[in-house]
Amino acid sequence: MATTSKQYKAIGEDLWKGRSEKINAELFALTYGALVVQLIQDYEDYAEVNKHLEKMGYNIGTRLIEDFLAKSGLGRCADFREVGEVVSKVGFKSFLNITPTVTHGAPPPPPSPNRPSSINTLSQTSAGSSFTLTLDENPLAEFVELPDEALEGGLWFSNVLCGVLRGALEMVQMQVQAEFISDVLRGDESTEIRVKLVKYLEEEVPVGDD
């Protein structure tokens, strides 16, 4: 297990270094900040803004996963625990150059014995699994200080990240719920995103021709 973790870290590092098109961090932070402020001006309701940030992230995630799989060449993850490891050590690292700490959730309760299908056993045992990503630095929120209205309104400034996770994982047949639990911008101790597996999607998986 420890070796695999180190391998993932190495893959992530290589992917980051191998990227020729990097963007200036300040430009990125300022652009995202301007985007959020514009959304606030347009919708004037922080819950709506959260929803739209998540939706935008979803659209980004569905496309980003293609780039990720092509460049990393990683195969299917064995279980949801591995998904967490790959997302934090390879995913975040290769796109944002940060490695959030991943904490795996408690294993879900055993499935009810009355489910007929045996193929679904694996997905049954995993549904309800979760992992939490703790970001100790957030490149999106580099210069941000939230005003009181945003704090009271419940704005999650970096909510686009939750959308990206949901979109990307949906493209690899996992339906997840990703949400912020805490954010240093709101005065909390740390910035945490919890990703919970709802179910595996039973779509037809195209056979890979490698």
Q: How many residues bind other proteins (CB under 8 A)?
A: 17
- Neighbouring residues of 109: CB distance < 8 A, sequence distance ≥ 6: 128
Question: Which helix (DSSP H) or strand (DSSP E) does residue 131 occupy?
Answer: strand 130-135
Residue whose CB is less far from other proteins, 145 or 210: 145
Q: Nearest approach, Cβ of 143 to other proteins (angstroms)?
A: 4
Give the Cα separation of 73 and 55 in Å (integer): 27
| Residues 32/140, Cβ–Cβ less than 8 Å | yes
Q: How far is the CB of 120 from other proteins (least distance, A)?
A: 46
33 binds other proteins (CB under 8 A): yes
Contact track, other proteins, 97-136, x by CB under 8 A: ----------------------------------------
Residue 146 touching other proteins (CB under 8 A): yes
- Which listed range, 2-10, 50-58, 142-150, 189-197, lies at the site for other proteins (CB under 8 A)? 142-150
> Which is closer to other proteins, CB of 145 or CB of 204?
145
User: Which residues are registered as beta bridge partners of 193?
Assistant: 133, 180
Strand order in the sheet with 174-182: 101-104, 130-135, 191-200, 174-182
Q: According to the binding rule CB under 8 A, does residue 27 interact with other proteins?
A: no
Question: Over the Cα atoms of the chain, what is R_g?
Answer: 18
At CA 177, angle to CA 176 and CA 183, rounded to 5? 135
Residues forming contacts to other proteins in the complex (CB under 8 A) are 26, 29-30, 33-34, 36-37, 40-41, 142-148, 150
